[in-house]
């Protein structure tokens, strides 16, 4: 086994508006201690991150309460987490040297809108009409734009471009939602 920790996180997409899931997928050296594990999360629009002490190899469920976005009624009702870019850093001691950082583009609310539009399209399992095909084609375009926004943020590290793409795609989906539901 190597004489260093190889830190890694998985941040799976979810359709649950109230949670953000972070899974520690690190490979820890058996010859080194794993001390002071910290998960730091900067939520969209925030200027200060939230630091959480976590257990190595854990599966962490973050909520508006654990991220400081909600301060009341945490035992009864959870607020939705916002879509946008979450800057996530995981480290172990020495925390300034052993860390990994990610930009995660959360698109959960946009996907809920996307799927709700499908619910409004009356598909019977037969060949769709031309109008239905046009709607499906347009939905594919905006889903691709959401995927492109996510790629811009998470893989290309172009946060401003990805955010602009997300905002445009979301506005189009919201417009479609109003058009198709009425």
pLDDT digits 0-9 by tens, 13-28 = 999 999 999 999 999 9
Q: For residue 17, give every residue at least 6 positions away whose Cβ sits within 8 Å of its Cβ, in sequence order, or none.
A: 80, 81, 108, 109, 112
Residues 134 and 172 placed together within one structural domain of the fold = yes
pLDDT of residue 72: 96
Helix axes 108-120, 130-154, angle to 10 degrees: 170
Dist CA 11 CA 20 (whole Å): 8
Residues 174 and 146 placed together within one structural domain of the fold = yes
Nearest to 173 by CA among 108, 122, 124, 123: 108
Find the CATH number of the domain harbouring 84: 2.60.40
Residues 26 and 98 placed together within one structural domain of the fold = yes
pLDDT of residue 127: 86
**Would you say residue 3 lies in a domain?**
no
pLDDT of residue 68: 96
- Structure tokens, 125: 């399992």
Residues 39 and 126 placed together within one structural domain of the fold = no
**Would you say residue 1 lies in a domain?**
no
Last residue of a domain, one of 106, 140, 169: 106
Nearest to 10 by CA among 53, 59, 49, 62: 59
What is the phi/psi pair of residue 161, to 5°? -65, -45
Answer whether 70's CB lies under 8 Å from 82's CB: no
Residues 17 and 49 placed together within one structural domain of the fold = yes
**Would you say residue 13 lies in a domain?**
yes
C-alpha torsion sign, points 133, 146, 148, 59 = negative
pLDDT digits 0-9 by tens, 125-156 = 788 888 888 889 999 999 999 999 999 999 99
Residues 77 and 134 placed together within one structural domain of the fold = no
Last residue of a domain, one of 106, 125, 155: 106
Residues 101 and 113 placed together within one structural domain of the fold = no
Residues 54 and 124 placed together within one structural domain of the fold = no
pLDDT of residue 181: 54
Burial level of 1, CB count in 10 A (0-12/13-18/19+)?
exposed
Range of the domain at 72: 9-106
Dist CA 24 CA 88 (whole Å): 12
Residues 97 and 132 placed together within one structural domain of the fold = no
How many structural domains are present in the chain?
2
Residues 72 and 126 placed together within one structural domain of the fold = no
Residues of the chain with pLDDT under 50: 182
**Would you say residue 2 lies in a domain?**
no
**Would you say residue 145 lies in a domain?**
yes
**Would you say residue 4 lies in a domain?**
no
pLDDT of residue 105: 98
Residues 141 and 83 placed together within one structural domain of the fold = no
**Would you say residue 87 lies in a domain?**
yes
- Structure tokens, 38: 């910290």
Dist CA 155 CA 120 (whole Å): 33
pLDDT of residue 2: 64
Residues 25 and 57 placed together within one structural domain of the fold = yes
pLDDT of residue 32: 93
């Amino acid at each position: 086994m190597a004489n260093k920790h190889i830190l890694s996180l998985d941040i799976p997409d979810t359709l649950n508006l109230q949670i953000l899931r972070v899974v520690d997928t690190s490979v820890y050296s058996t010859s080194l201690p794993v001390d002071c594990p910290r998960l730091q999360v900067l939520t969209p629009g925030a200027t200060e991150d939230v630091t959480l002490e976590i257990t190595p190899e854990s599966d962490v469920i973050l909520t508006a309460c654990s991220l400081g976005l909600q301060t009341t009624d945490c035992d009864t009702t959870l607020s939705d987490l916002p879509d946008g870019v979450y800057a996530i850093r995981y480290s172990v001691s020495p925390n300034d040297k052993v860390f990994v950082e990610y930009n995660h583009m959360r698109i959960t609310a946009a996907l809920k809108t996307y799927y709700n539009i499908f619910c409004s399209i009356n598909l019977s399992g037969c060949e769709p009409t031309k109008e239905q095909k046009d709607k499906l084609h347009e939905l594919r375009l905006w889903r691709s734009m959401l995927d492109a926004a996510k790629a811009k943020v998470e893989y290309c590290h172009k946060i401003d471009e990805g955010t602009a793409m997300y905002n445009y795609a979301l506005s189009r989906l919201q417009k479609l939602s109003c058009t198709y539901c009425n």
